[in-house]
């Protein structure tokens, strides 16, 4: 199977190639294995309660950068410790903080400008370095250069001057502080000015920390036992760094830990090394429906259902192929078995991106045999690990209870290293006496069995009580991975069902995950084997849970009173099944009937690829004789009415996509005894015309009538079920009336796409209502007055309605959090009629989200509630003005439409008709008005603004005074600007590309590091360049004749196509990149600098515009020490190496692969382990 799938991948993608991964700031995955090993082999990690400890000066960054970093870490489920003190009081740090530092895996120190002024922070730093040394300490240089910290200059010098005066009698302590800062400044860390904005920096740090932390949770300590070696071997086979496509097969018996191992590997690598990833579990359930499985895989990788519409079973979509080929993906296909023969069609016609990895787990080695699949056999645990795992589950710790020593090895030997068997057996013997242990082991000895299922059977037999065993069998046969534990309890309705499920969880026979019940395959197979052992005749068994047995009994009418439950998966039928009229007439004890799923031929996207088989009832059904039916599910039920049966014990009735017209062929107005009924699901029963009298269904909680398109009205007696909470009526396209009959207990009411024209005022009697969804009700024009206070209603959805106005009584929705008038995801409706919202909207103090996107008729907004966090008024094209926005506002979408005082970021990019901006709040730190092509002027800029982006504002002629806080100014393609105002002293980045009318620049601040002036075609000269400049881009400045002195800090100089440039000043020694292509008047080069670069390209033209040959015969390069040679501390000039020589008449020993030019002559020179590429290009 895998061999067929691998044929879809090109050979080039299956070849091995080396790829060296780089790590930034010393944070990578290299140390993670050691972390995992230490976690699994020692208890030291158990003392580490926090992932990250944040050290910072509160006055500088508590409510800004540090808080944002804290929230970013928490958002990635990283346990961060942030001291909540407002002020650092005193001199010594508290014992609580010292303990928190010791209990943290990583310490992050936020070095701000006044960090050194706090003795508290300095003592905290000293303690961190004493605890951690150089390991797992990460500095962040926030708006301060590392050299200032290292040398204690500027603000740090001022702080230490005060410390030395204050602590004259403690010079050693001051010296210790200085040493700690110097040591910290020499560590790898983060510089805030290297990032575009704080958001980018914060996200980068959080992502790196996530990579550095171990991925495995100590709460599952048992799963870590014995996993180190398999992890190393699988990671070696994966070779994540190599750029090929690999398939790794993990082969082993059931319960041996294949899924656990694949999960650990997936957790470790998926999010950090791949573009997309997916873990496909439960493949056997879907393997026979390849189209569904294929769609599931593609959707997880692409997350776009629209693309799936273009997919076909045989010929893959070109669009999908293009997306996949560019994606480096990680896929896990878990638990392949013999039924998965059609998986060779899974990626038919598709290729995965280079570097992709696929892991396949299976019990069958033959499914993995292929030359392109490397198979790893996962064996049982070593005896030492097996004993450790067993002790963990049997005694609740790693310790050994006295008196059990002699029994442990026998138990571990019998389990043969199977982790699941060890876990289940250990749990079953927990809290048992030595005699009980011996009895259990003696039972194994008297009936030896090589199969592990014998071990699991002991746990089942140990349940003792028949009802407890019955609960286990019911769950294993009917309710795994599908329903909530509470639902199972109510369905089984045993007197001790709740206690029984708790016992099964404690004994590791079932698992409750996210309130759903799960069970390992071995245990489920064992349970079904127990049922099969009851009788050779399946009609005499208590439970039928295989399609083969269920179809046999229903077709041959061989059912007996022994049968308590039937499971039949209709989506897996392999033939037409004709159920006899009397099929259920002998099943006096039937409790559970579960005929679930939909035949693929009808619901599959590819009708020709499915099976055209169904369950048919040609002669109807005789009444059911069982009085104990609790669960009745029959999807696609083919008759107009249900068979007669006594429903007094019925808990759930599920008849999805049925042909029902009425539930019972009798007077629907007569009440039925449905006291125990809790759930009815008749969704998409398109012929259902009437609901029976549910007045006595006093415990009904869920009623799903979604898609019942023949339903016109809800009956008057519908209001009696006093516990109904969830009512689904969406897509009941003809439903018009009956909403006045709703029970007051309803919490969630879904009326999407119904035919209702108005809401009755009685709707507000539903005092517990939490969600009201009316999206797509296109006939709904009036929203009723809200007669009473709705204290639970938190969300109203009115997208796609025709409501003309809201009532003034909207303030009665006292707890409303979200109001939708704009389109929802996957739903294109919007309101084009409503013009105004009532002024009482401002009284909704809990409203957090107001969504008015594409409400194209709305002209003005009322005062907004003070707690509003999100406001979307995009494409409200008639909106003339905004009211004062609340300070709580965090997100504002206002494309094509007075700003809050607390607003920090404002992005109004691409508002092409916007001519002016309102007054900007003083809190604003970032303003983006990019591509506002009609903007003619800017208002005064707030004093705290740090970043300003006005790129492509073509009509903007001048800028206001720039605030001193500004560190980044982007004015790219502001083609009307002729001059710039004085630049602030702290400016770091200046982008004026394509400002074609700009003739000169003001004085450049000393803080400037990056200057982009490409295509400033009117620029005639540059002012003196600051000493800290790193990058200078003056490409296509065609009037520029000369350059000022270049600072020693300059690393990159782009001067390509400066056609008037006649000469270059001396080049700085640290220059890495020099591009002077097509500088046609440039007749000579200055002496090229000595450099520590490992590879550089100098492109020189050997003919000027007058035809004068530039006779460049020799190029000299003196390398400085860069790790290949020890520096000469004595200054001996003999330590310098001579330079290689190359000239244009030498043979072409190295051809530049990226330039195709008939006169290109390049040479690659190796010098002291370095390569320098020199290119001579004739013009």
pLDDT for residue 222 is more than 60:
no
pLDDT for residue 1108 is more than 60:
no
End-to-end CA distance of the chain: 58
Average pLDDT value for residue range 552-567: 94
| 141-145, 555-559, 596-600, 1008-1012: least confident range | 596-600
pLDDT for residue 106 is more than 80:
yes
pLDDT number for residue 40:
36
Token couple for 1178: 């004739």
Residues 969-989 have pLDDT tens digits of 999 999 999 999 999 999 999
| 73-87, 439-453, 704-718, 831-845: least confident range | 439-453
Its CATH architecture, for the domain 978-1089, is: Alpha-Beta Horseshoe (3.80)
Token couple for 86: 């407002």
pLDDT number for residue 21:
28
pLDDT number for residue 37:
33
Report the distance separating Cα 1069 and Cα 1090, nearest Å.
Answer: 6
Residues 150-161 have pLDDT tens digits of 999 999 999 999
Task: Tell me the CATH number for domain 757-892.
Answer: 3.80.10.10
Give the position of tokens 């009665």.
Answer: 812
pLDDT for residue 326 is more than 60:
yes
Looking at the DSSP assignment, which residues form a beta bridge with residue 374? 248
Token couple for 157: 């010098």
pLDDT number for residue 429:
83
Residues 768-780 have pLDDT tens digits of 999 999 999 989 9
Report the distance separating Cα 126 and Cα 55, nearest Å.
Answer: 11
Residues in the chain: 1179
Residues 48-60 have pLDDT tens digits of 688 899 999 988 9
Q: Which residue has the higher pLDDT, 666 or 64?
A: 64
Which CB contacts under 8 angstroms, 24+ apart, belong to 812-817?
812/764, 812/786, 812/787, 812/788, 813/786, 813/844, 814/789, 814/790, 814/844, 814/845, 814/846, 815/790, 815/791, 815/846, 816/790, 816/844, 816/846, 816/847, 817/846, 817/847, 817/848, 817/849
| 640-644, 870-874, 1138-1142, 1158-1162: least confident range | 1138-1142
pLDDT for residue 17 is more than 60:
no
Contacts of 104 (CB under 8 A, 6+ apart): 48, 49, 50, 51, 52, 53, 81
Query: Can you tell me whether residue 429 is helix, strand or coil?
Result: coil
Helix (H) or strand (E) holding 441: helix 434-446
Average pLDDT value for residue range 557-573: 92
Report the distance separating Cα 758 and Cα 678, nearest Å.
Answer: 30
Residues 225-244 have pLDDT tens digits of 888 889 999 999 999 888 88
Q: Structural domain boundaries of the chain?
A: 32-212, 241-377, 383-535, 757-892, 978-1089, 1091-1179
Highest mean pLDDT among 82-96, 588-602, 674-688, 1080-1094: 674-688
Q: How confident is the model at residue 614 (pLDDT cuts 50, 70, 90)?
A: confident
Query: Can you tell me whether residue 299 is helix, strand or coil?
Result: helix
Residues 188-201 have pLDDT tens digits of 899 998 887 888 99
Q: Which residue has the higher pLDDT, 585 or 1141?
A: 585
| 236-240, 311-315, 693-697, 843-847: least confident range | 311-315
Give the position of tokens 């709707």.
Answer: 763
pLDDT number for residue 668:
58
Distances (CA, A) of 442 to 414, 439, 446, 448: 12, 5, 6, 10
Dihedral angle computed from the Cα positions of residues 918, 919, 924 and 927, in that order, rounded to the nearest 10 degrees: 40
Catalytic residue numbers, as ranges: 124
pLDDT number for residue 347:
61
Find out whether 517 and 539 touch, Cβ atoms under 8 Å: no
pLDDT number for residue 178:
95
pLDDT for residue 648 is more than 80:
yes
Q: How confident is the model at residue 460 (pLDDT cuts 50, 70, 90)?
A: confident
Instruction: From the options 3.40.190.10, 3.90.1170.50, 3.40.50.150, 3.40.50.10140, give the CATH code of 32-212.
Output: 3.40.50.10140
Q: Tell me the percentage of the chain whose pLDDT exceeds 70.
A: 77
Report the distance separating Cα 780 and Cα 759, nearest Å.
Answer: 8
Strand 1170-1177 and strand 1160-1167: pairing? antiparallel
Closest CA to 229 of 358, 385, 356: 385
pTM: 0.56
Average pLDDT value for residue range 1087-1107: 48
Query: Can you tell me whether residue 146 is helix, strand or coil?
Result: helix
At residue 313's C-alpha, the angle toward residues 307 and 316, to 5°, is 55
Give the position of tokens 């897509």.
Answer: 731
pLDDT number for residue 600:
56
Q: How confident is the model at residue 1152 (pLDDT cuts 50, 70, 90)?
A: very low
Does 241-377 match 32-212 at the fold level?
A: yes
Query: Can you tell me whether residue 485 is helix, strand or coil?
Result: helix
Closest CA to 300 of 259, 269, 342, 332: 332
Phi–psi pair at 712, nearest 5 degrees? -105, -30
pLDDT for residue 1163 is more than 70:
no
Mean of all residue pLDDT scores within the chain: 79
Helix (H) or strand (E) holding 544: strand 543-544
Q: Which residue has the higher pLDDT, 21 or 398?
A: 398
Find out whether 35 and 27 touch, Cβ atoms under 8 Å: no
Q: How confident is the model at residue 23 (pLDDT cuts 50, 70, 90)?
A: very low
Highest mean pLDDT among 33-37, 435-439, 843-847, 901-905: 843-847
Report the distance separating Cα 913 and Cα 686, nearest Å.
Answer: 49
pLDDT number for residue 282:
65
Find out whether 754 and 733 touch, Cβ atoms under 8 Å: yes
pLDDT number for residue 1106:
40
| 293-302, 617-626, 814-823: least confident range | 293-302
Residues 168-190 have pLDDT tens digits of 999 999 999 999 999 999 998 99
pLDDT for residue 965 is more than 90:
yes
pLDDT number for residue 1139:
30
Q: Which residue has the higher pLDDT, 463 or 638?
A: 638
The dihedral through the CA atoms of 808, 813, 815, 818 has a sign that is negative
The domain over range 241-377 is classified in CATH as 3.30.70? no
Find out whether 953 and 972 touch, Cβ atoms under 8 Å: no
Closest CA to 691 of 726, 746, 729: 729
pLDDT for residue 1109 is more than 60:
no
pLDDT for residue 1092 is more than 50:
no
Average pLDDT value for residue range 128-137: 88
Query: Can you tell me whether residue 279 is helix, strand or coil?
Result: strand
Find out whether 685 and 665 touch, Cβ atoms under 8 Å: no
Contacts of 717 (CB under 8 A, 6+ apart): 669, 671, 693, 694, 695, 741
The dihedral through the CA atoms of 714, 716, 717, 722 has a sign that is positive
Average pLDDT value for residue range 1032-1061: 93
Report the distance separating Cα 559 and Cα 567, nearest Å.
Answer: 13
Query: Can you tell me whether residue 884 is helix, strand or coil?
Result: coil
Name the burial class of residue 17, with classes exposed (0-12), middle (13-18) and buried (19+) by CB atoms within 10 angstroms of its CB: exposed
Q: How confident is the model at residue 435 (pLDDT cuts 50, 70, 90)?
A: confident
pLDDT for residue 342 is more than 90:
no
**Which 8-state DSSP code applies to residue 707?**
T
Find out whether 262 and 429 touch, Cβ atoms under 8 Å: no
Token couple for 318: 């070109």
pLDDT number for residue 1101:
42
pLDDT number for residue 290:
62
């Amino acid at each position: 199977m895998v061999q067929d799938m691998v044929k879809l991948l090109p050979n080039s993608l299956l070849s091995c190639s080396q790829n060296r991964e780089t790590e930034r700031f010393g944070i990578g995955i290299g140390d993670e294995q050691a972390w995992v090993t230490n976690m699994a082999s020692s208890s030291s990690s158990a003392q580490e309660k926090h992932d990250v400890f944040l050290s910072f000066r509160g006055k500088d960054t508590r409510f800004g950068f540090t808080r944002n970093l804290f929230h970013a870490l928490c958002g990635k489920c990283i346990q961060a410790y942030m001291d909540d003190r407002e002020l650092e009081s005193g001199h010594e740090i508290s014992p609580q903080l010292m303990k928190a530092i010791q209990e943290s895996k990583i310490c992050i120190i936020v070095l701000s400008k006044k960090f050194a002024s706090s003795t508290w922070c300095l003592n905290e730093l000293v303690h961190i370095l004493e605890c951690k040394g150089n390991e797992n300490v990460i500095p962040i240089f926030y708006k301060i250069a590392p050299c200032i910290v290292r040398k204690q200059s500027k603000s740090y010098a001022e702080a230490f001057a005060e410390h030395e005066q204050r602590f004259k009698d403690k010079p050693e302590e001051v010296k210790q502080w200085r040493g700690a800062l110097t040591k910290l400044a020499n560590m790898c860390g983060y510089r805030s000015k290297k990032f575009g904005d704080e958001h980018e920096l914060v996200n980068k740090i959080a992502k790196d920390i996530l990579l550095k932390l171990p991925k495995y949770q100590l709460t599952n300590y048992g799963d870590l036992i014995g996993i180190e070696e398999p992890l190393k071997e699988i990671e070696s086979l994966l070779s994540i760094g190599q750029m090929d496509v690999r398939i790794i097969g993990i082969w082993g018996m059931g319960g041996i830990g294949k899924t656990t191992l694949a999960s650990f590997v997936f957790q470790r690598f998926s999010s950090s090394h791949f573009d997309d990833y997916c873990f496909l579990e439960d493949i056997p359930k879907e393997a026979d429906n390849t189209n569904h499985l294929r769609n599931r895989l593609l959707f997880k990788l692409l997350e776009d259902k629209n693309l799936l519409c273009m997919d076909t079973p045989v010929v893959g979509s070109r669009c999908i192929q293009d997306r996949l080929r560019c994606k480096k993906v990680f896929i896990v296909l878990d638990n392949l078995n013999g039924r998965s023969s059609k998986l060779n069609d899974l990626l038919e016609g598709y290729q995965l991106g280079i570097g992709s990895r696929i892991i396949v787990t299976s019990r069958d080695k033959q499914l993995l045999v292929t030359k392109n699949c490397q198979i790893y056999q996962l064996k049982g645990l070593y005896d030492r690990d097996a004993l450790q795992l067993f002790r963990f589950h049997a005694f609740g710790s790693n310790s050994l209870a006295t008196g059990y020593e002699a029994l442990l090895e026998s138990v571990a030997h019998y389990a043969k290293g199977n982790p699941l068997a060890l876990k289940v057996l250990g749990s079953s013997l927990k809290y048992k006496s030595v005699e009980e242990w011996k009895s259990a082991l003696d039972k194994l000895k008297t009936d030896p069995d090589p199969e592990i299922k014998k071990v699991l059977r002991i746990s089942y037999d140990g349940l003792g009580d028949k009802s407890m065993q019955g609960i286990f069998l019911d769950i294993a046969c009917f309710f795994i991975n599908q329903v909530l534990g509470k639902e199972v309890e109510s369905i089984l309705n045993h007197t001790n069902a709740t206690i029984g499920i708790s016992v099964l969880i404690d004994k590791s026979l079932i698992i409750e995950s996210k309130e759903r019940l799960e069970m390992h395959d071995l245990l489920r197979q064992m349970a079904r084997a127990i049922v099969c052992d009851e009788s050779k005749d399946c009609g005499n068994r208590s439970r039928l849970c295989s399609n083969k047995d269920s179809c046999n009994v229903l077709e041959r009418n061989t059912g007996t009173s022994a049968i308590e439950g039937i499971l039949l998966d209709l989506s897996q039928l392999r033939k037409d099944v004709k159920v006899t009229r009397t099929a259920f007439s002998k099943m006096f004890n039937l409790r559970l009937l579960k005929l679930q799923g939909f035949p693929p031929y009808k619901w599959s996207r590819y009708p020709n690829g499915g099976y055209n088989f169904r369950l048919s009832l040609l002669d109807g059904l005789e009444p059911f004789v069982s009085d104990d039916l609790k669960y009745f599910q029959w999807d696609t039920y083919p008759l107009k009415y249900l068979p007669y049966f006594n429903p007094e014990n019925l808990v759930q009735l599920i008849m999805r996509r049925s042909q029902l017209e009425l539930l019972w062929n009798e007077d629907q107005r007569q009440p039925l005894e449905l006291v125990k009924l809790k759930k009815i699901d008749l969704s998409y029963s398109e012929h259902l015309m009437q609901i029976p009298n549910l007045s006595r269904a006093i415990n009904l909680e869920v009623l799903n009538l979604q898609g019942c398109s023949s339903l016109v009205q809800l009956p008057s007696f519908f209001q009696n079920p006093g516990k109904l909470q969830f009512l689904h009526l969406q897509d009941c396209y003809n439903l018009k009336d009956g909403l006045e009959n709703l029970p007051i207990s309803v919490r969630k009411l879904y009326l999407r796409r119904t035919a209702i024209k108005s809401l009755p005022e009685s709707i507000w009697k539903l005092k517990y209502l939490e969600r009201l969804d009316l999206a797509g009700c296109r006939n709904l024009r009036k929203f009723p007055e809200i007669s009473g206070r709705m204290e639970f209603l938190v969300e109203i959805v009115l997208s796609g309605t025709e409501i003309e106005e809201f009532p003034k009584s909207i303030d009665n929705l006292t707890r409303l959090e979200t109001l939708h008038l704009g389109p929802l995801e996957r739903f294109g409706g919007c309101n084009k009629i409503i013009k105004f919202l009532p002024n009482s909207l401002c009284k909704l103090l809990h409203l957090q989200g107001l969504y008015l996107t594409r409400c194209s008729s709305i002209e003005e907004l009322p005062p907004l509630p003070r707690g509003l966090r999100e406001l979307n008024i995009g494409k409200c094209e008639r909106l003339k003005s905004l009211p004062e926005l609340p300070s709580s506002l965090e997100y504002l979408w206002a494309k094509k439409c007075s700003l809050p005082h607390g607003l920090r970021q404002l992005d109004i990019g691409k508002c092409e008709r916007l001519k002016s901006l309102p007054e900007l709040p003083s809190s604003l730190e970032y303003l983006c008005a990019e591509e506002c092509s009609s903007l003619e002027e800017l208002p005064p800029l707030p004093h705290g603004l740090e970043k300003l982006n006005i790129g492509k504002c073509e009509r903007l002629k001048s800028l206001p005074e720039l605030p001193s806080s500004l560190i980044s100014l982007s004015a790219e393609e502001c083609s009307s600007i002729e001059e710039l105002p004085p630049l602030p002293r702290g400016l770091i980045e200046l982008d004026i590309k394509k400002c074609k009318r700009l003739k000169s620049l003001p004085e450049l601040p000393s803080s400037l590091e990056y200057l982009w002036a490409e295509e400033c075609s009117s620029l005639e000269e540059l002012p003196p360049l600051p000493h800290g400049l790193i990058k200078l881009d003056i490409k296509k400045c065609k009037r520029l004749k000369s350059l000022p002195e270049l600072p020693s800090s300059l690393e990159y100089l782009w001067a390509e196509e400066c056609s008037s440039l006649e000469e270059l000043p001396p080049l700085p020694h640290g220059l890495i990149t020099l591009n002077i292509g097509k500088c046609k008047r440039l007749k000579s080069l200055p002496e090229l600098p000595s450099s520590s670069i490992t590879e550089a390209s100098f492109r020189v033209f050997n003919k000027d515009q007058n035809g004068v040959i530039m006779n460049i015969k020799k190029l000299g390069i003196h390398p400085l020490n860069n790790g290949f040679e020890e520096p000469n501390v004595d200054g001996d000039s003999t330590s310098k190496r001579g330079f290689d020589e190359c000239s244009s008449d030498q043979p072409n020993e190295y051809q530049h692969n990226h330039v195709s030019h008939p006169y290109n002559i390049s040479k690659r020179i190796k010098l002291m382990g370095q390569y320098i590429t020199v290119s001579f290009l004739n013009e």
